[in-house]
Amino acid sequence: MENLLSDKWDVKPKHAPEEALQRWRDLCGVVKNPKRRFRFTANLSKRYEAAAMRKTNQEKLRIAVLVSKAAFQFIQGMQPGDYTVPEEVKAAGFEICADELESIVEGHDLKKLKFHGGALGISEKLATDPTNSISTGPQSLSCRRSIYGTNKFEETEPQSFWVFVWEALQDMTLMILGVCAFVSLIVGTATEGWPKGAHDGLGIVASILLVVFVTATSDYRQTLQFRDLDKEKKKVSIQVTRNGYRKKMSIYHLLPGDMVHLSIGDQVPADGLFLSGFSVLINEASLTGESEPVMIGADNPFLLSGSKVQDGSCKMLVTTVGMRTQWGKRLATLIEGGDDETPLQVKLNGVATIIGKIGLVFAVVTFAVLVQKMLGRKWHDGTTFTWSGDDAMELLEYFAIAVTIVVVAVPEGLPLAVTLSLAFAMKKMMNDKALVRHLVACETMGSATNICSDKTGTLTTNVMTVVKSCICMNVKDLSGPGSDKALRAELPESVVKILFESIFNNTRGEVVVNRSGKRKILGTPTETAILEFGLSLGGDFQGERRASKVLKVEPFNSTKKRMGVVLELPEGEGLRAHTKGASEIVLAACDKVIDLEGKVIPLDEGSMSLLKAIIDQFAGEMRFRNRDMFV
């Protein structure tokens, strides 16, 4: 069978071109039931609609940027148009409506934004505190929802069981069998009377109904299973500040006025405005098709939902949610477009097509042989031109046999079966707390023989702690009780000050206090471990943040393998840069080191060799290592 499948049936596991997806559909030709065969494959017509919408958005954004640049030159000399706040918005305690917010972000309208006082002015009109964000009182949140809506998107209504019954009846062979049953009932009743003459016809009808209801039940249960999986896939959380507390929250609970914290890899959950941040690059390819990232800052503060943070981190003010966002306007066509089919699904479609053609040939040959036999017998009996009701029933029986061969031979449910098995695998993995977002991942993992990982936490509990450190050329084991206090006692105060300054400022993590008064550390396992280490030495996160002003942040990425921050020291002491990352890369950039007395000394060859040996030792122990080198 593999030899019969040409390379035209080959598709890539990810990002297969539209031409390849269309090619194998064309090869399938006429199938028994297209609705059932292609139920869980990508809808290419919807894909084309989404691509056209993306192209339109790209043109709109391009024009908006050009118009904004031109208008910006005349802003000083032009009077902004009057804006009237709708009465219901004003009565709710807000000073700007959802339509105005949508037009500002969608059109990248700097003129309107400046007219409303910039991002901070918008936050005031949304009754948002620049520090504490919105109030979490039930009445306040309910009022926002009623005025601005929620961050939920329209979804296609689930199909009822009877829709699957109707789709199962669309099977071509079942239609032919239905015609056979009707003719059999007419001829049988006319020749043998009721009910004897109707036995064959009613038997065919019963068989059709049995096949239809079994198929519909199977498909309906499968759809329910996919719906459950889809709910799990949509459980996406993001860091949000509300009522002065930073916490994780579902993106579907966001409201205009919320302050969202974005970092590398995050998807922008709603349309909004840049408030503060450093080196923010946004990839808008999913919206505009442009591969070049867009720099976001005070000059270009517009963030569109569906885009991704490629570099940097920032705080965003949510302005537009739900179907008003750019992503919401495209989501319907994207959902209807469906996910790409897996290579195994395509191959099984090919197998079903080939077997179907072979089955059709045998059905035609069988029917021809039986008819030839019947005609030969009638020729021998001299009744070639005399036909009775029995002859018609016999001919109809031969036709039913041929149709039955097609029904049995063509495995129309074969591609559907592999989809069901992959969905079952996803369900089993979900029960083990392992969420797989794409069916193709189950197919790929099914053929994996070895799993290699170099990231601590991937195959463990995802909780990290500092167990050994090298500070001021001194290696200290921190796994024992009281070891952190002993380390603090050994270090000079000047070193501790710089250490705290680095740990609490050069981080993407956060130390917050929840409503119950308990301290909570937010961030990646690595950042959490370093912050926990700093707190165990007696550091004050909020105090260190207030003591220094951050001037520049270089976020971590896989290319540089390090991150850094530039601070303006209090009382005019100047600037200081802190960096952390891969030990060997940070060490290669150093030419001085702080000793146990707190003095800055040159990093000679002996000290360099000692530090390299310590790095190798830490790596060999397969434990987490924490190293801060200061230039």
| DSSP code string of 472-493 | TTEEEE--STTHHHHHHHHS-H
Separation between Cα atoms, residue 538 and residue 486, nearest integer Å: 12
Phi-psi domain of 529 (left: phi exceeds 0; alpha: psi -120 through 50; beta: other):
alpha
The kind and range of the H/E element at 418 are: helix 414-431
Tokens of 506: 């050069």
Which residue, chain included where needed, has tokens 């193709």? Answer: 440
Q: Which residues contact 31 (CB under 8 A, 6 or more apart)?
A: 37, 172, 353, 356, 412
Residue 95 tokens, joined:
């000073």
Q: How far apart are CA 480 and CA 69, in angstroms?
A: 61
Other CB atoms within 10 Å distance of the CB of residue 24: 22
Query: Dihedral of CA 293/298/299/301: which sign?
Result: positive
Tokens of 172: 């071509």
- DSSP lists the bridge partners of residue 282 as 294, 309
C-beta of residue 128 within 8 angstroms of C-beta of residue 273: no
**Rounded distance, CA 527 to CA 464, Å?**
9
Q: Are 288 and 61 in contact (CB under 8 A)?
A: yes
C-alpha distance from residue 179 to each of 31, 188, 207, 257, 463 (Å): 19, 14, 13, 63, 66
End-to-end CA distance of the chain: 66
- C-alpha to C-alpha distances, 485 to 488, 618, 628, nearest whole angstrom: 5, 22, 19
Task: Give SS3 for 38.
Answer: coil
Omega of the bond prior to 343 within 30 degrees of 0, cis? Answer: no
Q: Which residues pair with 477 in a beta bridge?
A: 468
What does the block give as tokens for 613?
């040996």
CA distance 500 to 540: 8
Q: What is the DSSP letter of 317?
A: E
Which residue matches tokens 């917050």? 512
Rounded Cα gap, residues 206 and 537, in angstroms: 79
Tokens 């074969």 identify what position? Answer: 414
Residue identified by tokens 């001021």 is: 472
Q: Give phi and psi for 240, each to the nearest 5.
A: -135, 145
Confirm whether 391 is a catalytic residue. Answer: no
Tell me the HSE value of 407 on the side-chain side, using a 13 A CA sphere: 19
Tell me how far apart the 2 most distant CA atoms of the chain are, in Å.
121
Q: How many CB atoms lie within 10 A of CB 165?
A: 17
Pick from 237, 625, 236: which is nearest to 456 by CA?
A: 625
Segment holding 51, helix H or strand E: helix 44-72
Residue 566, classed as helix, strand or coil, is strand
> Of 454, 484, 540, 628, which is the active-site residue?
454
Query: What are the residue numbers of the active site?
Result: 454
